[in-house]
Amino acid sequence: MTNAAAPLPDPDLLTSQGLEAQGKGRILLIACGALAHEILALKRANGWDHMDLQCLPAKLHLYPDRITEEVEQAVLAHRDDYDRIFVVYADCGTGGQLQAKCADLGVEMVAGPHCYAFYEGLDRFAAHEDEISAFYLTDFLVRQFDAFVWKPMGLDRHPQLRDMIFGNYTKLVYQAQTDDPALRAKAKDCAARLGLAYEYRFTGYGDLKASLEKQVATT
């Protein structure tokens, strides 16, 4: 009899607290909590038991000026415990500061401006020249829409802010990592709540999978 897969971390905890490393494996992945489910799924599917995962709270994306410092602290705290550390963050609004800090620390990081680009693939995402007015959600952000978007932006208390905040957006693009009808329905509802057109794109894991495969190949 095979053991059942370990339950995935609770999205609320990933948003507020992140995920602690287990102290196992040769490579430590330091990632955003918004990527935890996808990275754990890839680890299981590919048998990447030599990779450990630590996730910082996903809510750091509400304060991108804090991401670089938090990543640096995580690297310094764990660098003696693993053969190599890979930072699974893109630039994520740090204005190049995260890339510069990773270079100083001697660790690699994911390429690209944000997770929406590497989920879709950097080249494919860059080809969307007309999407300056698109608002993106991933599986995680659909699940956490109220905690990550609706409440922090005050829309639960002041719905009149919707036009002020989203008045220049024209559509909501749901980049789906999994084919989940319930998440599709919720994403469509999120678009309606924001007064935006809705577009569904199945991206799967995109360049996230390729980035982790590269780390495996260089082990």
Q: What percent of the chain has pLDDT over 70?
A: 97
Q: For residues 125-144, give the mean pLDDT.
A: 92
What's the CA gap between 48 and 42, in Å, rounded? 8
Residue 183 pLDDT exceeds 80: yes
Q: What is residue 86's predicted lDDT score, i.e. its pLDDT?
A: 98
What is the per-residue pLDDT across 30-53, written as a single tens digit (0 to 9) for each?
999 999 999 999 999 999 999 999
CB 18 within 8 A of CB 33: yes
What's the CA gap between 138 and 128, in Å, rounded? 17
Residue 218 pLDDT exceeds 80: no
Q: What is residue 52's predicted lDDT score, i.e. its pLDDT?
A: 97
Q: What is residue 3's predicted lDDT score, i.e. its pLDDT?
A: 46
Q: What is residue 145's predicted lDDT score, i.e. its pLDDT?
A: 97
What's the CA gap between 47 and 78, in Å, rounded? 23
Q: What is residue 175's predicted lDDT score, i.e. its pLDDT?
A: 97
What rounded mean pLDDT belongs to the chain? 93
Buried b or exposed e, range 151-166, using 16+ CB within 10 angstroms: eebebeeeeeebeeeb
Tokens 């409440």 belong to which residue? 151
97 residue type, one letter? Q
Q: What is residue 142's predicted lDDT score, i.e. its pLDDT?
A: 98
Residue 1 pLDDT exceeds 60: no
What is the per-residue pLDDT across 68-94, written as a single tens digit (0 to 9) for each?
999 999 999 999 999 999 999 999 999
Task: Categorize the per-residue pLDDT at 189 as very low, low, confident or very high, splitting at 50, 70 and 90.
Answer: very high
Q: What is residue 2's predicted lDDT score, i.e. its pLDDT?
A: 42
> Between the CA of residue 123 and those of 87, 126, 168, 173, what are the distances in Å?
21, 5, 25, 17
What's the CA gap between 153 and 99, in Å, rounded? 28
Pair of tokens at residue 177: 């990592």
- CB-based burial of residue 147 (10 Å sphere; 0-12 exposed, 13-18 middle, 19+ buried)? middle
Longest dimension (CA), the chain: 56
Task: Categorize the per-residue pLDDT at 6 as very low, low, confident or very high, splitting at 50, 70 and 90.
Answer: low
Q: For residues 101-123, give the mean pLDDT.
A: 94
What is the per-residue pLDDT across 57-68, written as a single tens digit (0 to 9) for each?
999 999 999 999
Residue 219 pLDDT exceeds 70: no
